[in-house]
Amino acid sequence: MSERQFETAEDQNSLEAHLATTAGPVEASLEAQPGLPEVLPTAKDAKASVLPNFFDFPLKDLEAVLTGLGKEKFRARQLFQWVYQKRTHDFDLMTNVSKTFRAELPGLLEFRLPKVVQELKSVDGTRKWLFDVGQGMTIETVLIPSKDRLTLCVSSEVGCNMACRFCYTGKQKMKRRLTAGEIVGQFVHAQDSLKKDGLRVTNIVFMGMGEPLDNPDEVFKSIKILHEADGLGFSRKKITVSTSGIVPLIPRVTEAGVRLAVSLNAPNDEIRNKVMPINKRWNTKALLEACRVHTEASKDMVTLEYVLLRDVTDRIEQARELYQLTKNIPCKINLIPFNEHPGTEFLRPHQEQVVKFQNEMIRLGAHVLLRKTMGRDIFAACGQLTSLYEGRPEKLMPTPSKSLTTKASAETTVSLS
């Protein structure tokens, strides 16, 4: 979910970012990024593929797909190992797979990942990928470095319908929910890219574009795929799902065995109703009770994100109110000074007020962290680069004489599609 926060807390937990803020003015950002490449919707994008996409399936589901096609169940495990562990793109190299099956594969499955439009690297180590998911739609994925972690912030939807008033993505209506394969694909691309530099993703947070619990089936399916021992083998405890507060679905986070983050962002219902419309459906009491139940069942603390909006949520009395509201929940609170973005009605808090707020929380005994902004030079606030890109329709419209000749096309050749 979330307003992606490309900020990092000042301790080891810093990167579970969520509530976003944004970098500088859009116009300035555009100037800073020469030559945004063209991405042309393809015929394949425009019509749904008739073949199942390998990347959409957890192992057991892939076994069922293959046996349904009359193939041996163990082929699914072989493919998982080749594709996810050995990252082989060439069927001919899958030496323990029979030649007959290899020859049949292109007619059985697609191996389709989102296409990388652009990869940006910040001077502070933050990286950002812009992906084309077809029909002119794009999503963003951000890598946030900290002392001992490289946390990948993945998107779950194109746009978002939650309409949190401080969120840049919330201003972009949801266009569609991502498939599990498109979520897994963000990780696969990032991991491949990092590998070239001898690095690897250590944590994954569902805090990019979209509300993950508005797309629960695909999100939890992607978690299964990421966790599969014969595939990527990513620990569930290194994955965090963040929600704006879809209370009835929080138990699914618990069942999935992953960590929970919640965008709280207000010390009471009155303010939360104003900044997060979802609070009118499930209020703070219901939300925090769901958090408490999660912490009991999971034996894990919940992360509460709290965006500091000047004169709206950053007053000292609100720090006290926030403490009272959350003191019985095993939690850590991430304070996120709001970064102004184009069109926002809110202001960034004064630094001295941020410090006072944090100190008051500490004095009261809260486990509270403060994030510092990262990746400002690469539009680290989720939704911002997408907005820039999609705001240039001439860059997205097909022109008959041109084919995909950009970095996007070059990089998609590494996928198995």
Catalytic residue set: 140, 382
Q: With residue 356 as reference, give the H or E element that holds it.
A: helix 351-364
- Nearest residue to ligand SF4, using CB? 170
Kindly list the distances between the CA atom of residue 282 and the CA atoms of 44, 358, 407, in Å, as whole numbers in the listed order. 40, 27, 44
Decide: is 162 part of the binding site for ligand SF4 (CB under 6 A).
yes
Question: Is residue 156 a contact point for ligand SF4 (CB under 6 A)?
Answer: no
Shortest Å distance, C-beta 250 to ligand SF4: 14
Total residues contacting ligand SF4 (rule CB under 6 A)?
A: 14
- Residue (20 or 117) nearer to ligand SF4, CB: 20
Does the protein bind ligand SF4 through residue 344 (CB under 6 A)? no
Handedness of CA 25, 168, 199, 370 (dihedral sign): positive
Nearer to ligand SF4, 110 or 305 (CB): 305
Cβ-contact 209, 156 below 8 angstroms = yes
Nearer to ligand SF4, 5 or 415 (CB): 5
Q: Of residues 195-234, which lie at the interface with ligand SF4 (CB under 6 A)?
A: 210-211
Strands (E), 112-238: 115-121, 127-134, 137-145, 150-153, 157-158, 176-177, 203-206
Burial class (CB in 10 A: 0-12, 13-18, 19+), 383: buried
Residue window 259-298: x/- pattern of binding to ligand SF4, with contact defined by CB under 6 A: ----x-----------------------------------
Stretch that binds ligand SF4, among 102-110, 161-169, 191-199, 316-324 (CB under 6 A): 161-169
Fill in the DSSP letter of residue 53: B
Q: Which residues pair with 110 in a beta bridge?
A: 53
Rounded to whole angstroms, how far apart are CA atoms 127 and 331?
28
Positions 58 through 87 that interact with ligand SF4 (CB under 6 A): none
Which stretch in 82-90, 122-130, 137-145, 164-172 sits in contact with ligand SF4 by CB under 6 A?
164-172
Decide if residue 53 touches ligand SF4 (CB under 6 A): no
* One of 1, 62, 241, 381 touching ligand SF4 (CB under 6 A): 1
Strands 157-158 and 7-9: unpaired
384 binds ligand SF4 (CB under 6 A): no
Which of 151, 203, 244, 318 is close enough to bind ligand SF4 by CB under 6 A?
244
Q: Which region among 100-108, 158-166, 232-240, 350-358 touches ligand SF4 (by CB under 6 A)? A: 158-166
- DSSP assignment letter at 184: H
Report the residue from 137, 143, 160, 213 that binds ligand SF4 according to the rule CB under 6 A. 160
Question: CA-to-CA distance for 5 and 208, rounded, in angstroms?
Answer: 8
Strand-pairing partners, residue 307, are 336
- As given in the structure block, the two tokens for residue 204 are 């994954």
| Per CB under 6 A, 9 contacts ligand SF4 | no
Stretch of 28-36, 55-63, 159-167, 283-291 contacting ligand SF4, by CB under 6 A: 159-167
Residue 241 · residue 277 · CB < 8 Å? no
Task: Judge whether 329 and 271 are in contact, CB under 8 Å.
Answer: no
Q: Where are the beta strands (DSSP E) in 212-270?
A: 239-243, 259-263
Q: Quick check: 337 binds ligand SF4 (CB under 6 A)?
A: no
By the rule CB under 6 A, 164 interacts with ligand SF4: yes
21 forms part of the interface with ligand SF4 (CB under 6 A): no
Instruction: Kindly list the strands in the beta sheet with 137-145, ordered across the sheet, starting from the edge strand earlier in the chain.
Output: 7-9, 368-373, 331-337, 302-308, 259-263, 239-243, 203-206, 150-153, 137-145, 127-134, 115-121
Chosen residue from 109, 167, 225, 408 binding ligand SF4 by CB under 6 A: 167
**169 lies in the site for ligand SF4, by CB under 6 A:** yes
Identity of the residue, 139 or 325, whose beta carbon is nearer to ligand SF4 in the bound complex: 139
Instruction: Return residues touching ligand SF4 (CB under 6 A).
Output: 1-3, 160, 162-164, 167, 169-170, 210-211, 244, 263
